[in-house]
């Protein structure tokens, strides 16, 4: 009788193990499906906004994966705000004004130094922002996380195959265009100020307007400023 008793105990334990293993794999499949659904919904947001998993449906390390995705894109957005501040620079907008011509002309050393420094800083910050869109940066971020290799692989799958990476590539295209546009403003402004410095004896301010000694200089100035304002 005791023999059968032990057999029942063994069978019961085996059944518990089978149920536990079955629950583990079923739960993992359910969690991964929910995670994929969450990420697809998340990727529909504008990544330049403050994006979030507002209705998360996962727990445990699956939730950590979502939090890690959000953390990466929050860093991306913070860097975007830094870059975006350059286009809002009021001083940049005032450099080709009559008031600045009177204040910093005719050599414009202060304005030229400012433009050169801002251009260098802008390009450094923009390159950092663009790097967030690169696969290598995403993978480096994933590998630096505290997640186990299984969840790191899941993290990578969510980033690259559920809309986020594609969205980053679309954003990257617009950022590259913005980079070109602002560099055109920096370079164009530098050309205008260098032109005014070169011909400093051939222009003056009258009636709050810049006046040149020849029509040819007027045309050159108009052509240069139009590149900045276009």
Peptide bond between residue 176 and the one before it cis (omega within 30 degrees of 0) = no
* Residue 2: predicted pLDDT: 52
Contact in structure between 64 and 53 (CB atoms under 8 Å):
no
211, HSE (Cβ side, Cα atoms, 13 Å) = 7
* Residue 10: predicted pLDDT: 46
Dump the DSSP string for 7-41.
HHHHHHHHHHHHHHHHHHHHHHHHHHHHHHHHHHH
Instruction: Round to whole Å and give the CA distance between 211 and 45.
Output: 51
* Tokens representing residue 91 in the block: 């001083």
The DSSP output letter for 200 is G
- pLDDT tens digits for 20-37? 444 344 457 889 999 999
* Residue 23: predicted pLDDT: 39
Contact in structure between 69 and 56 (CB atoms under 8 Å):
no
* Residue 5: predicted pLDDT: 52
Contact in structure between 28 and 22 (CB atoms under 8 Å):
no
* Residue 14: predicted pLDDT: 47
What lies within 8 Å, CB to CB, of 48 at 6+ separation is: 77, 80, 171
* Residue 20: predicted pLDDT: 42
CB-CB neighbours of 17 under 10 Å: 10
* Tokens representing residue 182 in the block: 């602002």
* Residue 15: predicted pLDDT: 43
CB-CB neighbours of 153 under 10 Å: 12
User: Where would I find the H helices in 132-163?
Assistant: 135-143, 149-161
Q: Which residues does the chain have with pLDDT short of 70?
A: 1-27, 230
Instruction: Round to whole Å and give the CA distance between 120 and 117.
Output: 5
């Amino acid at each position: 009788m005791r023999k059968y008793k032990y057999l029942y105990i063994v069978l019961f334990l085996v059944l518990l193990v089978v149920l536990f293993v079955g629950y583990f794999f079923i739960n993992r499949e359910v969690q991964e499906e929910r995670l994929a659904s969450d990420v697809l919904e998340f990727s529909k947001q504008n990544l330049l906004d403050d994006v979030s998993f507002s209705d998360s449906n996962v727990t445990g390390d699956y939730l950590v994966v979502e939090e890690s995705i959000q953390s990466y894109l929050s860093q991306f957005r913070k860097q975007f705000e830094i870059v975006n501040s350059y286009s809002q620079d009021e001083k940049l907008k005032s450099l080709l004004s009559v008031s600045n011509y009177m204040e910093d002309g005719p050599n414009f050393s202060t304005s030229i130094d400012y433009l050169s420094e801002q251009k260098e800083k802008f390009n450094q910050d923009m390159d950092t922002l663009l790097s967030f869109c690169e696969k290598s940066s995403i993978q480096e971020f994933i590998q630096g996380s505290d997640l186990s290799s299984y969840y790191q692989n899941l993290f990578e799958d969510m980033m690259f195959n559920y809309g986020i990476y594609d969205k980053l590539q679309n954003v990257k295209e617009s950022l590259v265009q913005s980079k070109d546009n602002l560099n055109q403003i920096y370079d164009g402004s530098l050309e205008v100020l260098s032109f005014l410095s070169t011909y400093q004896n051939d222009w003056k301010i009258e009636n709050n307007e810049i006046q040149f000694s020849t029509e040819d200089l007027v045309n050159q100035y108009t052509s240069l400023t139009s590149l900045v304002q276009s």
